[in-house]
Amino acid sequence: MMGRSATIAVLLLVASVATASGECAWVLWQKWGPVWFLEGATPSYEDCRAAARRETERRQQAGALVDRDGNVRSWDCLPDTIDPRGPKTK
C-alpha cells in the first residue's frame, strides 16, 4: 500500500510541474511596416488577443492604421519566448 501511495504522489507532483512549466506570458507586438514594437505583456493568449482587438479598433477610429507610405499597423500575440525582431546581436 505504501508503495502505491508514493507512486500516486510522485505522478501528481510531476503532473503539476508539467502544467506550471507550460504556462507563459503572451506579448502583444505591433508591426508597422517592417518594424516590430513591443506593446505589452498579458498572462493569457485570450487577454492578449483582446488587447490587440482594442488597439486595432482604437487606431482605426483615429484613422491611424495606414501611414502615407501605405504601411499598415497590425498587432500580433506571441509567447514571451519568441521575439519577432530576431536574435539579439552582441
User: Tens digit of pLDDT for each residue in 14-57?
Assistant: 443 333 445 789 999 999 999 999 999 999 999 999 999 999 99
The pLDDT of residue 20 is: 42
User: How far is the C-alpha of 71 from the C-alpha of 35, rounded, in Å?
Assistant: 10
Within 8 A by CB and 6+ apart from 86, the residues are none
* Residue 70 lies in domain: 25-90
DSSP 8-state assignment for residue 60: H
The verdict on residue 30 lying in a domain is yes
Domain count, the chain: 1
Within a domain: 15: no
Q: Is residue 77 part of a domain?
A: yes
- Going by pLDDT thresholds of 50, 70 and 90, the confidence category of residue 1 is very low
**Is residue 3 assigned to a domain?**
no
d(CA 83, CA 85): 5
The pTM of the whole model exceeds 0.75: no
Contact indicator for 39, 16 with CB cutoff of 8 Å = no
> Is 51 domain-assigned?
yes
